[in-house]
Every structure is written in C-alpha cells, then in structure tokens.
Amino acid sequence: MPFAVTRRSFSTCLMTLSAIALIGLAEPVQAQVTAFKQAVAEASFGNEAVATFYRTRGYAPIFTGEQDGTRRAALLAALETSDIHGLPAGRYDPETLKAAFAAAETARDRGRAEVLAAKMFLQFSTDIQTGAMTPGKIDSEIVRQVPRRDPVLQLQAFAKSSPQGFMKALPPRTQQYNALLAEKLRLEATLGHGGWGPKVSAGKLEPGQSGDQVVALRNRLIAMGYMKRSASGSFDRTLQKAVQQFQIEHGLEPDGVAGPATLAEINIEPQQRLSQVIVAMERERWSNVPLGERHILVNITEYTARIIDNGKETFSTRVVVGSDQSGRRTPEFSDVMEYMVINPTWNVPRSIATKEYLPLLKKNPNAVSHLRVVDSRGRTVSRGSVNFAQYTASSFPFSLKQPPSQSNALGLVKFMFPNPYNIYLHDTPSKNLFARDQRAFSHGCVRLAEPFEFAYALLARQTSDPEGLFHARLNSGSETRVNLEEPVPVHLQYRTAFATAKGRISYRPDIYGRDARIWAAMQAAGVKLGDAGS
C-alpha cells in the first residue's frame, strides 16, 4: 500500500527533522534520539537562543533534573512576585509552569516543561532587567539604546549561579529603583486604605485662614506624609511648612501658599502617582547600566542638570528644555561629552533656517541681520545679491551663521556630546526664562542657567585654575575648543517620579505626554494598578 503523506504528517516530519538538525547529531537520521532531547529540540524550535543554549550543553536540563528543585522554586517564586515590580504578570504564567512540572511523568513531558521554564525565565529576566516595553515603539523621541542582555549568556549564567541569589539580583540595583519600589508599595497601601481623602475644592488657601477647606488641605497633607496628625483648623505655621515641603518636592515655588498650581498637584489622586512610579521603574530598567563614576544627569521634566561624582551631586543648575512642539521636544538618550566650545559660532540648524528665517528673508532681505548668509563653500554672501523669494525650504542653497558674541543664541559656551540629534548643552542670552517654574521653551537643546560654573566644575579635574583657563579663552573673543581630558557620560532622562538624595519621591508634570503613552502601552501589555488588599 503506497505511503500517503498528509499535510499534518508532512509538518510532523519537518518538525522531527528540524529537531534532529537542532540536536546536531553526527549519526544517521535513523539513529535513536532520546525522548527528552527530541522534546527539547521540538519545543525550542523557532527560539534560537533556547535552542542554542541546550544544544551547546548537550541537552542537559537545568530545571527538570533531579537536582534542579531549588532552581525551579527560585524561578516560580520570582514569577509569582512579578507584579510587585510593575511588570505584566500575565506574560509569565507561573500556574501553567507549575502544572507542567507536576504533570511531567515522561521524558517528553519533562523536555517540554524544561523549554517552557527556559522561555519564561528569559522573558522575565529580560523584562525585569532592561524593561518590558521597547521605548522607541512607544515614542520616537525616546531614542535611548536599551541594554538588552544576550539570552544565551543569561541562561548560562543562571545555570552556574545560586538560583535565589541570581533572581534577586536581576532588578536594577540602584538607589532610584529601590526608592521607587518602596514608593510603589506605600501607594498601594494607601489605596488599600481608601486613598488620601477628599480633594481640596478651594481656589487658594494661605496662612491665617481657617474653615472646612483648610481642614481638607491639612488632612490630605497628613495622609500624604507631609505633616503629623493635628486637630488644628487654621492655616498655621505647621501647615505652611508642610505646604512648602510639598511645593519643593513638586517643583513649585515654595511660598507656603496653596494657590491653584499647588492645589492642582495636591489634588492628584494616588492612582495617578502610582502609575507615574511604575513608569519611572520601567524607565530605570531601560537605563540599567553603570552611568559612570562621573556623569551628567539632565531630567527634562525637572528642568535641572546635575554633575554626579561617585554617586553624590557636586553641581546643579536650572535648565530650559525643548518646547512641547513637533521637532522641538528634547529627546531622551545617553552619550559622552567630549569638549566645550568657548565663544561658539551658532550654525543655525537647517530646519530653523528654512522654516523660521527664510520666510522673513523673503519679506525683507535685511531681516535677522545678526545672521550671516553663507554659501556651500563657506563664503559670506551679500544679502543684496540674493533673491530669497525664488527659494523654497528644500531648494535654499545657503546656511545661516551667527558669529561669537554676547548676544549669540548659544551664549558664550556650549558643551558638546556629538550625536545624530544635534542636541547639546549651552549658555543663552535669554536669562529671564530661568526664573519660571515651567521652562520648556527651546528648540530642543538644553540651556544652562549657570554655564560658566558648569564649565569650571568640568575643568576642575584637569587644571588647578579652571576659572583662569576658561576666562583666558573667553577673553580672546575667538571661538576655542577645549577638550575634556576625561570625557563625561551625559544622560538626558525624563522622569516624572524620581527619588531625591534623601530618598523621598518627587513628582513633576508629564510635559510632553510621554509617560501617558508609556503607561497606556504598559496597561495594554497587562500591567495593572494594585493595592495592598488586592
């Protein structure tokens, strides 16, 4: 009777042949293959990392062997607590894995359970180490390179390590992550007890006032942990200090008056704060690499740049960041600062030259007279010789430059970490903007309130007289490049929830709406807000 090959049997044959190929047998196809090995090969088909791992170790198990009970227990325990870290717990399904282990009566059953455990381990270890989401898929302006670990090396490391110690060490081991995790647990406990109480409905409250809304303000700040329990019904000194502390931790002017901006922040519910914390934990996972013994941190939402040396802040200054408009928002990424330019020339970005200045030049060739018109060979062109009206944004053949001066758009110094986004830190002649609480006004670069002092701090490691060196170059009036002998990592971050040096959590508005998009993506993946009673 002829052998009939159905679609099902053909697929099974292909799978079996593929499994044998994965095992890498030097023997003929007819050679006996153990049921366990064949099951592992079949179950890992299509997952190159898992297949490679088992092939290179001769298909020895790490989860289903007689001596692997501790490793099974460590994995299951970690999977069952994944929600504590704000991860999509449904991805890991420890109950299914438990059932697979319990039902593994045959060698083939054990092989399938082995691969299921390996896949869940890789998914969990990747998510908790370097994030469950891919940032660039959520927002194109988050251009951070996520430090994904090699999955084969990850499995190999787990196989050689103490299982419980390995799993415990997977999350970011930073002060920020630990403080955010503690805040997450605190907020969940708050939700389990009903939240922070009624919102404050007043438009403005200030010292000396009394009444129901002052009591509501007092009770809410007590619930938030900004003051001890009190029976006072007046806006006294104790309440004023609590308001000021709240204002400091939320980036508001600490005047002790509960005005509209302060009350708006006070009335935000713990559910929203919890979502901010969960997003911040995910962001911390995206940056789970050493930041550098000395590094620069720019928190876009906080409008602050800091120099950090050996974990301690040694310099801080206010900044202005990109406005919330297409093409102007400051992107998120990390790079390395290599040099500063004193008395810089401003080479106007083409997008600004063509979109903002070309229309002005068409109306009046003498507009923006502080800028030079330069041809492709670097020669300054007389404006009178150019018919600007004949050009479009795509055909405009010139560039625009502003020579060094006090009024230069970049001020008197810029700090360079060459990157494809044309983003850097710099001085500015527009000093008045630094007095505002909300400072999103630039075209994307980061303007420093204290650029000279920032330069001194960077140069202090390579000269005994950083101010003298800086001002000698500055006073020359000529554009001068000063290399940093020790290049400094720069991290442009976006954290609406972050830990202060004292470990308390500060919150900021989501100025670009990025956290809202991340939270929506996390919810779609299965992340949920929990409380201590759920």
Chain centroid offset of residue 332 CA: 7
The region of weakest confidence among 29-38, 62-71, 259-268, 513-522 is 29-38
Query: Residue 463 carries which side chain, given as an amino acid letter?
Result: T
Query: Residue 59 carries which side chain, given as an amino acid letter?
Result: Y
pLDDT computed for residue 501 by the predictor: 83
Q: Which residues pair with 347 in a beta bridge?
A: 401
Cα 325 from Cα 323, distance rounded (Å)? 6
pLDDT computed for residue 502 by the predictor: 83
User: Percent of the chain, pLDDT > 90?
Assistant: 88
pLDDT computed for residue 199 by the predictor: 95
Task: Indicate whether 320 pLDDT > 90.
Answer: yes
Torsion, Cα 54 57 61 67, to 10 degrees, reads -160
- Nearest C-alpha neighbor of 232 from the set 197, 268, 208: 208
338-392 tens-digit pLDDT? 999 999 999 999 989 999 999 999 999 999 999 999 999 999 999 989 999 999 9
Cα 204 from Cα 243, distance rounded (Å)? 12
Mean pLDDT value of segment 85-97: 94
pLDDT computed for residue 3 by the predictor: 32
Cα 523 from Cα 534, distance rounded (Å)? 17
> Structure pTM?
0.89
Task: Indicate whether 14 pLDDT > 80.
Answer: no
- Alpha-carbon distance values, 440 to 206, 304, 436, 446 (Å): 29, 12, 10, 10
pLDDT computed for residue 207 by the predictor: 96
> For residues 12 and 94, which has the higher predicted lDDT (pLDDT)?
94
122-133 tens-digit pLDDT? 999 999 999 999
Mean pLDDT value of segment 274-298: 97
Q: Where does the pLDDT of residue 534 fall: very low under 50, low under 70, confident under 90, or very high at 90 and above?
A: low
From 85, 295, 445, 491, the catalytic residue: 445
Mean pLDDT across the chain? 91
pLDDT computed for residue 8 by the predictor: 37
pLDDT computed for residue 205 by the predictor: 97
Q: Is 471 a catalytic residue?
A: no
Task: Indicate whether 268 pLDDT > 60.
Answer: yes
pLDDT computed for residue 426 by the predictor: 98
**Is 293 in a helix, a strand, or coil?**
coil
> Residue 475, exposed/middle/buried by CB under 10 A (0-12, 13-18, 19+)?
exposed
Chain centroid offset of residue 53 CA: 31
Cα 352 from Cα 89, distance rounded (Å)? 46
pLDDT computed for residue 33 by the predictor: 46
Q: Is 443 a catalytic residue?
A: no
Task: Indicate whether 258 pLDDT > 80.
Answer: yes
Task: Indicate whether 325 pLDDT > 80.
Answer: yes
User: Percent of the chain, pLDDT > 70?
Assistant: 93
Mean pLDDT value of segment 387-409: 93
- Alpha-carbon distance values, 363 to 103, 360, 390 (Å): 80, 5, 12
Q: Show Cβ contacts of residue 301 under 8 Å, excluding neighbours closer than 6 positions.
A: 494, 495, 496, 508, 509, 510, 511
Task: Indicate whether 517 pLDDT > 70.
Answer: yes
Cα 440 from Cα 459, distance rounded (Å)? 28
Task: Indicate whether 18 pLDDT > 70.
Answer: no
Q: State the residue for tokens 């891919």.
A: 134
Task: Indicate whether 12 pLDDT > 60.
Answer: no
From 85, 426, 443, 491, the catalytic residue: 426
Task: Indicate whether 13 pLDDT > 50.
Answer: no
**Which value, in Å, is the radius of gyration of the alpha carbons in the chain?**
30
pLDDT computed for residue 531 by the predictor: 67
Cα 78 from Cα 49, distance rounded (Å)? 21
Task: Indicate whether 487 pLDDT > 80.
Answer: yes
Annotate 472-487 with three-state secondary structure: HHHHCCCCEEEEEEEE
The region of weakest confidence among 127-141, 284-298, 334-348, 519-533 is 519-533
Reading across the β-sheet that carries 399-402, which strands appear in turn?
346-347, 399-402, 372-374
pLDDT computed for residue 230 by the predictor: 86
Mean pLDDT value of segment 250-261: 95
**Is 415 in a helix, a strand, or coil?**
strand
Cα 513 from Cα 300, distance rounded (Å)? 12
